Each structure stands twice: as C-alpha cells, then as structure tokens.
Structure 1
C-alpha cells in the first residue's frame, strides 16, 4: 500500500487491484482510478477533486460522505455501494452501473403518486404536507426530499402536539405554511444532485423531520 498522509495528487491508480483498500478521509486531486478494482473499498468522507473513476469497480464500496463533484464516474460499477450523503453534483454519471443493493443512489421518495411528508419549522413546529401526484419531487443521496408544491394538512408542536395555524420556514422567513393552504416553491431546482437548493424540503417520516438541525 502506498503511504498517504492526508491525500494524494496526480497519481495513477488505473487498472490497479485495490479491493478492500482503506482510503477514508483522504483528499485526492487529479488521481486516475479508471478501471481499477475498488471492490469493498472504504472511501468514506474523501474529497475527490477532478478524479477519474471511469470504468472503476466500486461494488460494495463505502462511499458515505464522499465528494465526487467534478469527477468522472462514467460506466463505474457502484452495485451494492453505500452513497449516503455522497456529493454527486457536476459529476459525470453517464452509464453508471447500479443495482437494487446500491444505497442512496435511486430516488428516496416515491417517484409517482401522492404522498405524505413532514418538515420542521421555527419554534419546533412539525408541518404535515400532502405532496400531490403531479408535484415534481426529487432527492439526492440522503433521506431529505424536495418538491415544488404541497398542501399543509396539520401543524403541531413537536413536543406537546399542540395545533397551530401557521409556521415559518427555517430557510426563508417569508415562506409561511398555513393549515389548509397550498405552498408553491417557485425556485424549485429539478437537479436532484443539488441537495441544498430550491424547493420544499421534506422527510417521509415525522421522526426524520424532528431530527432536522
């Protein structure tokens, strides 16, 4: 194994056999992993700046919190890998290979039909939302989802369950949720890999919403 303190720059790992390698918390810059075998490798919390993972085998790899922005994952195999909170915005995901064992790559919320969502607002208020079937919805690589419109069903105190008529968004103080009213996010960003961006953020369970912040 090559000794690495905090990271590696301009290195060629292409076609290398690196099964179960432990690279967690490292910074890679302009590193070529193309066609390497990283089956079962640990790349948790790595920062990959302009790295090449094209054709790389990442089956069963732990990619939690890994920043792949601006990296090339074209035709990489992430079957069975865990991508919880991995950052994929601006990454090349063309023909990436994944399966039903790949965690947090597919859309987390239902792609079709109406659903119920929950969000936490100022004052420990939990808002219950109806996301209609025609609402655009998306998610990145975690349990937080976004939609462009929803109807407010209930607003309750997180601890006492006391009912309220309105609640104020954490992000935008002018975005008000009112019971029985529709809310529309005009700034909804359809790019699912842009996590902290425009849209009504929600969770699929009340417990997840309560844990926010």
Structure 2
C-alpha cells in the first residue's frame, strides 16, 4: 500500500480534482506518520492507527468506527470536531451482563463519563442499577453478580456500583470504567 499516493488521491478528491476518496478500512497504519494529513471524509473504519502520529491531521467527518487509536500520538493536536453522544447530567443507560441479563442503569450527574472516538459503547465511573431482566425479559429481583468482563462488579437494584478505576482517554474503547449504551437495543445486541 502506497500511503503517500492514497493521501494524494484523497487530497485531489477533496479538491474536486479527480482523485479518489481514501478507503483505508482495515488498513495497518500502526506507527504511520500522518502528520498534517487531510483525512476528512476518509474511511478509516477498523484501521489500526495505534502509535500513529496524527499531529495536525484533519479527521473531520472521517469514518473511525472500530478503528484502533490506542496510543496514537499527538491526537490532541489533530483536528477532530467536538463529538459526544454521552449526555450531561443524570441519564439512563443500558448494559448487557453475563447470561444475557440486561441492566437499566442511571448514570448520576456526579459520574465521570466518556464517549470513545470509535464506538457507541460509553463508560462511566459509577452507576446506579435501576432494574434487571433475564434473557427472556423476565424481571430479576435483587442483584446480578457478574458483568461480562469483570466478575467482581455487582449490579444490585437500587445500589450504586463504582468502577475499580476510570480511564478518560477517548482513544480507548475497552478499558477501565463501567461500559454501557444509550439504547436498550444496542445493549441487547452486544
């Protein structure tokens, strides 16, 4: 893959000079030098951008779904338009637990929360469990002792649960915090 040629073709496409929109989906761009690259509207879905230098890169309207931005360098200097699907204040979230159990969660206003750049799976520092349903939709009373990845976390109706720690890095998707979705449907499909 000739990344320089792909970037030139993409630049031409952006300037209506022929060229071609960059499709870098699933590309291995690990440790790539993408300083000052204009990747607006590029398809970077599922690309490995870990450790890439994105200083001053333009990522506006780029498709970053499932892209790996872990340890991407200088992302704070890249142009990324403000983006967050995570509401402010207190709101309702949904989580799928072990055995297909669905939890209705309240994310309190005091909780730290984050929307990762590449996922709709959000995370918070603490939650309150409001209700639990088994995989058949029957209400569960009391508590469910296992999340999907951390069997130490207990989800008990009416009780607050705190994460062991909280990572506020928007480049990371699967990291410390309590993960959840805004919609019940997304949680059920997880």
Q: What is the TM-score of this pair, normalised by structure 2?
A: 0.86
Query: Which of residues 92, 96, 102 is equivalent to 2:78?
Result: 96
Superposition deviation, residue 20 in structure 1: 8.3
Counterpart of 1:87 in structure 2 is 68
The 1-side partners of 2:97 and 2:7 are apart by 49
User: Which residue does the alignment assign to 2:15?
Assistant: none
Q: Equivalents in 1 of 2:7, 2:65: separation in Å?
A: 25
* Unaligned 5+ runs, structure 1: 22-37, 101-105
Whose helix fraction is larger, Structure 1's or Structure 2's?
A: 2
Match of 2:9 in 1: 18
User: Any idea what SS the aligned residue of 2:59 has?
Assistant: coil
RMSD: 2.3
In the alignment, which of 125, 141, 165 is matched to residue 148 of structure 1? 125
Once the two structures are superposed, residues 135-188 of structure 1 have per-residue CA deviations (whole angstroms, 9 ceiling, x without a partner) of 001122111011010111000123233333211212122211000001011222
The structure 1 segments of at least 4 consecutive aligned residues displaced by more than 6 Å after TM superposition are: none
Stretches of structure 2 that go unaligned for 5 or more consecutive residues are 13-18
Give the distance between the partners of 1:76 and 1:39, measured in 2 at CA. Answer: 18
| TM-score, L = length of structure 1 | 0.77
> Displacement of 1:16 after TM fit?
5.9
Matches within 5 A, 1:121-200: 121-140=97-116, 141-167=118-144, 168-200=146-178
Note the 1:28-67 alignment, pairs <5 A.
Answer: 40-67=21-48
**What CA deviation, in whole Å up to 9, does each residue of 1:47-70 have, x standing for no partner?**
112111111111211111111111
* CA-CA distance at 1:72 after TM superposition: 0.7
- What do residues 18-77 of structure 1 show as CA deviations (whole Å, max 9, x unaligned)? 2289xxxxxxxxxxxxxxxx9721000111121111111112111111111111111111
Task: Report what 2:58 is aligned to.
Answer: 77
Which structure is higher in RCO with an 8 Å CA cutoff and minimum separation 6? Answer: 2
CA contact (8 A) 2:11 2:38 kept: no
How many residues matched?
Answer: 181
Q: Deviations over 1:61-103 (max 9, x none)?
A: 1111111111111111122211111111211213312347xxx
> Which structure has more strand as a fraction of its residues?
1
TM-fit CA distance, 1:201: 0.6
Where 2:187 maps in the other structure, the secondary structure is helix
CA deviation map 1:100-147 (0-9, x unaligned): 7xxxxx23312x211111111122110111001110011221110110
